[in-house]
């Protein structure tokens, strides 16, 4: 491949290969600069976008960004590509795909049909020439519905992962955050703990607690302990009540090797979780987390920009039929996404790419204290994602994760979205909240004023009003 | 400490506020539970309490390390009845904004500092180089390093086999791996890096400690042992020093560090609380009145 060139007036721009065009066309972010793949001028970036817009989509079937022989994700993407589904857009360029996606006649059904025909690289490419409003509008049209003990992704609904982390995994400390979250209507996507002590014994201990909680209160939701997939497989072998299998995944073989995972391992874990038959209304048993920058961080990016690597991770996720995919957008730090503007753009790109590839996308709308970002940036991203029909966000007491030391969305933030967009939790969970007298249908309020007797009674010292 | 910094719940007399009636659960966690609400949003007092904590965390990230002050604080310490030999060095990241965006530069000594350290290079290997780096919280370094080092040096003094120390280096704009560079320059067999951790909202002053056997430039984190969350409200400097001395002794004996060297100084603390003792699961709560 001789590379790509573009004549702009007197100046000839050259790009060495497809990955080079993609990287230089990517909206500015610190991780691509750190990797040395970003455009060096603003003009070069737009020229790369023009080159990209003119590429036929078939280019991505004939040219790889990481060689087929070197990378199992490339092989997975090409080997599972659905030529029939691709047919309606097979004659389009990247620029024409953007136009087609924005057509009012391109609705949820049309998008679902074409989705298996789109590769992660095609989707990443078109995202690079889309403005934020395009990413929102098209993502909103995509419908992805998944289910386990409740149903996630129905239009008009918006779910939350209750994240009750505690720095020493103190069971009462975790339960205190769960109680707080439930009283604010959080937890329908999953009640998911990041364990501070990451071993099999601790995983099993926490799984039993969550299982008893969910069973005792008949909560239509699922649990997860976010430990390595090999720990979860072992927990299942030891009889632990596993609802969802968690794993962080990346978009290159080398990234996944650095996480200690492979497709075969994930398939084995999925089979093991399915064999437990713990889902009641559906059987999506996988929970994945991703995030731009992981490939560079693992030194496994092959000169591919971080947004394209991220989309490739979705290529892996979609063959495993997950309940939830969560892009943890601002966690990785300012060397990958420098400020609020870069975090917001990345969040919208990830949500769009995941949705278009048929995934149940949620977003950990978050930042660390060394990034140039604050609560206002998170409010902006949260509002934009909610308007794009993002499936779920995190819910944590007061937005402060005291174990992972970062800020994500709070229980209050989710209620802001419910007020603003009238979005309800998953229907089964919504009904439970009303039954338990946590949510109310009467008057203008979402939440009931009084703590119900059942929950008041479980407080240490009874219903002591402090 | 001002009233705003305490774990106090929102003032009950704040107007237009719905108070959560489960604040006794705060005995179990430092998480921001039971905040109450105005409509469904944060009460004003809680919003401002959060903003203050975020402001403190940002200030901790951007605070620069006051080497002169730190040297003053450390010069009162002695090891084997001798004062410490303390050097001040710099990474290749010349200022904070560059440091935050270029982790690679924070891992290398500046050319001038590398040259400076060569003057102190020992011909025969020394046992350990201790490195203090600002990392992401100079605040943590100023607060935790003096008590930690004092406790660590006391333990090393009592060791069966004496520890020979390279000069103590204070590194500005340093990441963990700058210790590898320093140890190579000083010909040290082991490096212990004391570094300010990424500040959390509730913990802007937490120190991390990284130990590496036979450090070489380009080593990855799998080669290191880490002790984190060193602060008065977390792992106290004294306990951290105990664990560090234990790891140093074992790393020297086995000539390894990282995933191959297990920290058994304290058995991993898993909560063995029976589930029936979890407040939401006690028999009475779930409707079974047999208790």
Q: Calculate the CA dihedral of residues B106, B110, B113, B115 and round it to 10 degrees.
A: 140
Q: Do B104 and A34 touch (CB under 8 A)?
A: yes
- Binned at pLDDT 50, 70 and 90, residue B266 comes out as low
CB within 8 Å of A11: residues ≥ 6 apart:
none
Q: For chain A, what is the domain count?
A: 2
Q: What does A244-275 look like in DSSP terms, one character per residue? A: -EEEE--SSHHHHHHTT--HHHHHHHHHHHHH
Domain span at residue A113 reads 4-141
Identify the pLDDT of residue B285. Answer: 59
B125 burial via Cβ count (<10 Å: 0-12, 13-18, 19+): middle
Q: Do B100 and A370 touch (CB under 8 A)?
A: yes
* Bridging pattern class, strands A11-15 and A4-8: antiparallel
A197 and A118, same structural domain? no
Substitution target from B31, B99, B204, B218 for chain A, most A beta carbons within 10 A: B31
Cβ pair A423, A157 in contact under 8 A: yes
Asked if pLDDT for residue B56 goes beyond 80, the answer is yes
Q: Return the residue matching tokens 């107007």.
A: B15
The pTM score is 0.91
Q: Which two tokens stand for residue A2?
A: 């001789």
Residue of A nearest to B49 (CA): A398
Instruction: From residue B122, give the alpha-carbon distance in Å to each of B119, B164, B190.
Output: 9, 11, 14
B162 and B142, same structural domain? yes
Residue A446 dihedral angles phi and psi, to the nearest 5°:
-85, -45
B153 and B18, same structural domain? no
Let me know if residue B289 belongs to a domain.
no
Residue of A nearest to B63 (CA): A370
Identify the pLDDT of residue A46. Answer: 98
Let me know if residue B109 belongs to a domain.
yes
Q: For chain B, what is the domain count?
A: 2
Q: Do B200 and A464 touch (CB under 8 A)?
A: no
A459 → closest Cβ in B22, B60, B273: B22
Which of the two residues, A409 and B223, has the higher pLDDT score? A409
A135 and A17, same structural domain? yes
Identify the pLDDT of residue B203. Answer: 84
B12 to chain A: which residues are within 8 Å by CB? Answer: none
B280 → closest Cβ in A175, A370, A400: A175
Q: What DSSP designation does B18 have?
A: B
* Secondary structure class of A225 (helix, strand, coil): strand
A198 and A129, same structural domain? no
Let me know if residue B121 belongs to a domain.
yes
Cβ pair A290, A326 in contact under 8 A: yes
Let me know if residue A91 belongs to a domain.
yes
B68 and B41, same structural domain? no
B49 and B161, same structural domain? no
Substitution target from A36, A173, A411 for chain B, most B beta carbons within 10 A: A173
The packing angle between helices A94-102 and A120-128, to 10°, is 80
B41 and B87, same structural domain? no
A212 → closest Cβ in B41, B101, B281: B281
CATH number for the domain spanning A133: value is: 1.10.220.70
> Which of A346, A366, A401, A399 lies closest to A174 in space, CA to CA?
A401
Mean pLDDT in each 10-residue stretch from start to end of chain A (466 residues)? 87 97 98 97 98 98 98 98 98 98 98 98 98 98 98 98 93 97 98 88 94 97 96 96 98 94 97 98 98 94 98 98 98 95 98 98 97 97 98 98 94 98 97 96 88 91 50
Domain span at residue B30 reads 3-61
Residue of B nearest to A203 (CA): B270
Q: What DSSP designation does A38 have?
A: S
Mind telling me how many Å the CA of B234 is from chain A's nearest CA?
9
A331 and A198, same structural domain? yes
Asked if pLDDT for residue B269 goes beyond 80, the answer is no
Mind telling me how many Å the CA of B88 is from chain A's nearest CA?
24
B234 and B98, same structural domain? yes
Q: d(Cα A450, Cα A217) in Å, to the nearest integer?
A: 19
A162 and A231, same structural domain? yes
Let me know if residue B275 belongs to a domain.
no
Q: What DSSP designation does B63 have?
A: P
A407 → closest Cβ in B102, B201, B206: B201
Q: d(Cα A243, Cα A425) in Å, to the nearest integer?
A: 19
Q: Do A30 and B101 touch (CB under 8 A)?
A: yes
Residue of B nearest to A399 (CA): B32
Let me know if residue A445 belongs to a domain.
no
Q: What's the angle, vertex CA A292, arms to CA A289 and CA A296, rounded to 5?
A: 115
- Binned at pLDDT 50, 70 and 90, residue B34 comes out as very high
Mind telling me how many Å the CA of A213 is from chain B's nearest CA?
7
Q: Which two tokens stand for residue B288?
A: 């079974």
Asked if pLDDT for residue B288 goes beyond 70, the answer is no
Q: What DSSP designation does B26 have?
A: G
Q: Is the dihedral of CA A257, A260, A263, A265 positive or negative?
A: positive
CB within 8 Å of B119: residues ≥ 6 apart:
none
CB atoms under 10 Å from CB of A278, counted, come to 18
CATH number for the domain spanning B210: value is: 3.40.50.11240
Q: d(Cα A279, Cα A222) in Å, to the nearest integer?
A: 8
Q: Which two tokens stand for residue A81?
A: 């590509």
A49 and A122, same structural domain? yes
Cβ pair B178, B171 in contact under 8 A: yes
Q: What DSSP designation does A93 have?
A: B
Residue of A nearest to B41 (CA): A412
B124 and B159, same structural domain? yes
- Binned at pLDDT 50, 70 and 90, residue B268 comes out as very low
The predicted complex's ipTM stands at 0.95
**Terminal alpha carbon distance of chain B:** 43
Substitution target from B18, B20, B22, B104 for chain A, most A beta carbons within 10 A: B22
Q: pLDDT tens-digit profile of B157-215?
A: 999 999 999 999 999 999 999 999 999 999 999 999 999 999 989 888 999 999 999 99
Asked if pLDDT for residue B283 goes beyond 70, the answer is no
A153 and A33, same structural domain? no
Q: What DSSP designation does B164 have?
A: P
B234 and B188, same structural domain? yes
B152 and B54, same structural domain? no
Q: Do B39 and A419 touch (CB under 8 A)?
A: yes
B237 and B160, same structural domain? yes
A412 → closest Cβ in B37, B51, B202: B37
Mind telling me how many Å the CA of B178 is from chain A's nearest CA?
17
> Which of B198, B186, B36, B163 lies closest to A403 in space, CA to CA?
B198
Q: Do A173 and B31 touch (CB under 8 A)?
A: yes
- Binned at pLDDT 50, 70 and 90, residue B284 comes out as low
Let me know if residue B21 belongs to a domain.
yes
B84 and B57, same structural domain? no
B269 → closest Cβ in A179, A197, A208: A197
**Terminal alpha carbon distance of chain A:** 72
Q: Which two tokens stand for residue A199?
A: 């071993």
Q: What's the angle, vertex CA A310, arms to CA A68 and CA A69, rounded to 5?
A: 10
Let me know if residue B277 belongs to a domain.
no
Please state, rounded to an integer, the average pLDDT across all residues of chain B. 89
Let me know if residue B278 belongs to a domain.
no
Final residue in a domain of this structure, among A110, A126, A141:
A141
Let me know if residue A180 belongs to a domain.
yes
Q: What share of chain A is helix, strand, coil (3-state, %, to 5)?
A: 45, 15, 40
A322 and A223, same structural domain? yes
B101 → closest Cβ in A199, A335, A449: A335
Let me know if residue B269 belongs to a domain.
no
Identify the pLDDT of residue B4. Answer: 43
Q: Return the residue matching tokens 């333990």.
A: B155
* Secondary structure class of B45 (helix, strand, coil): helix
B223 and B91, same structural domain? yes
Cβ pair A409, A446 in contact under 8 A: no
A367 and A257, same structural domain? yes
CB within 8 Å of A112: residues ≥ 6 apart:
A142, A143, A358
A208 and A74, same structural domain? no
């Amino acid at each position: 491949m001789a590379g790509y060139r573009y004549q702009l007036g007197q100046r000839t721009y050259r790009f060495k290969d497809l990955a080079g065009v993609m990287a230089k066309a990517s909206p500015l972010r610190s991780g691509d600069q750190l990797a040395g793949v970003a455009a060096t001028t603003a003009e070069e970036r737009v020229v790369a976008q023009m080159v990209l817009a003119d590429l036929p989509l078939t280019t991505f079937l004939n040219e790889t960004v990481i060689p087929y022989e070197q990378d199992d994700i490339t092989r997975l993407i090409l080997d599972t590509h659905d030529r029939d589904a691709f047919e309606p857009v097979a004659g389009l360029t990247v620029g024409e795909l953007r136009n087609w996606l924005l057509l009012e006649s391109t609705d949820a059904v049309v998008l679902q049909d074409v989705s298996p025909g789109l590769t992660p690289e095609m989707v990443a490419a078109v995202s690079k020439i889309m403005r934020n409003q395009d990413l929102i509008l098209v993502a909103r049209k995509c419908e992805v519905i998944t289910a386990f003990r409740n149903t996630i992704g129905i239009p008009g609904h918006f779910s939350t992962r209750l994240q009750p982390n505690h720095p020493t995994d103190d069971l009462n400390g975790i339960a205190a955050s769960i109680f707080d979250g439930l009283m604010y209507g959080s937890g329908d996507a999953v009640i998911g703990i990041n364990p501070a002590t990451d071993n099999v014994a601790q995983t099993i201990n926490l799984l039993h607690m969550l299982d008893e909680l969910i069973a005792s209160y008949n909560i239509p939701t699922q649990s997860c302990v976010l430990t390595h997939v090999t720990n979860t497989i072992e927990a299942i072998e030891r009889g632990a009540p596993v609802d969802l299998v968690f794993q962080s995944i990346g978009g290159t073989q080398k990234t996944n090797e650095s996480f200690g995972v492979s497709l075969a391992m994930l398939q084995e874990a999925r089979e093991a979780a399915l064999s437990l038959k713990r889902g009641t209304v559906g059987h999506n048993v996988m929970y994945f987390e991703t995030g731009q920058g992981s490939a560079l961080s693992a030194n496994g990016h092959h000169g591919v920009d971080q947004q394209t690597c991220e989309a490739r991770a979705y290529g892996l996720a979609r063959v495993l039929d997950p309940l939830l995919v969560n892009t943890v957008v601002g966690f990785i730090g300012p060397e990958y996404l420098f400020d609020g503007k870069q975090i917001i753009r990345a969040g919208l790109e990830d949500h769009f790419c995941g949705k278009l590839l048929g995934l149940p996308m949620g977003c950990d709308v978050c930042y660390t204290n060394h990034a140039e970002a604050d609560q206002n940036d998170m409010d902006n991203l949260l509002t934009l994602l909610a308007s794009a029909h993002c499936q779920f966000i995190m819910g944590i007491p007061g937005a402060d994760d005291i174990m992972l030391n970062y800020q994500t969305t709070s229980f209050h933030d989710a209620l802001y979205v419910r007020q603003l967009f009238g979005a309800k939790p998953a229907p089964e969970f919504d009904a439970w909240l009303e039954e338990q007298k946590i949510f109310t249908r009467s008057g203008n309020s979402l939440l009931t004023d009084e703590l119900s007797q059942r929950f008041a009674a479980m407080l240490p010292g009874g219903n002591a009003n402090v | 400490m001002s009233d705003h910094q305490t774990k106090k719940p929102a003032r009950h007399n704040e107007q237009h506020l719905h108070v959560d009636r489960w604040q006794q659960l705060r005995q179990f966690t430092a998480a921001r539970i039971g905040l109450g609400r105005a409509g469904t949003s944060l009460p004003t007092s809680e919003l401002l309490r959060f903003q203050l904590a975020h402001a403190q965390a940002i200030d901790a990230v951007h605070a620069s390390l006051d080497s002169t002050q730190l040297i003053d604080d450390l010069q009162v310490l002695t090891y084997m009845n001798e004062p410490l030999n303390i050097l001040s060095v710099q990474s290749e990241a010349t200022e904070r904004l560059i440091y935050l965006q270029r982790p690679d530069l924070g891992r290398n000594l500046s050319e001038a500092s590398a040259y400076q350290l060569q003057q102190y290079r020992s011909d025969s290997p020394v046992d350990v180089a201790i490195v203090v780096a600002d990392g992401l919280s100079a605040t943590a370094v100023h607060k935790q390093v003096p008590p930690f080092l004092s406790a660590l040096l006391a333990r090393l003094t009592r060791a069966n086999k004496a520890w020979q120390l390279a000069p103590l280096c204070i590194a500005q704009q340093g990441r963990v791996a700058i210790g590898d560079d320093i140890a190579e320059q000083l010909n040290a067999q082991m490096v212990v890096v004391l570094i300010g951790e990424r500040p959390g909202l509730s913990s802007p002053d937490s120190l991390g400690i990284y130990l590496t056997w036979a450090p070489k430039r380009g080593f990855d984190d799998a080669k290191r042992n880490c002790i984190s969350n060193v602060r008065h409200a977390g792992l106290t400097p004294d306990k951290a020093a105990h664990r560090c001395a234990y790891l140093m002794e074992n790393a020297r004996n086995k000539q390894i560090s990282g995933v191959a060297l297990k920290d058994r100084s304290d058995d991993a603390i898993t909560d063995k609380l029976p589930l029936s003792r979890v407040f939401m699961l006690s028999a009475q709560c779930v409707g079974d009145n047999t208790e």
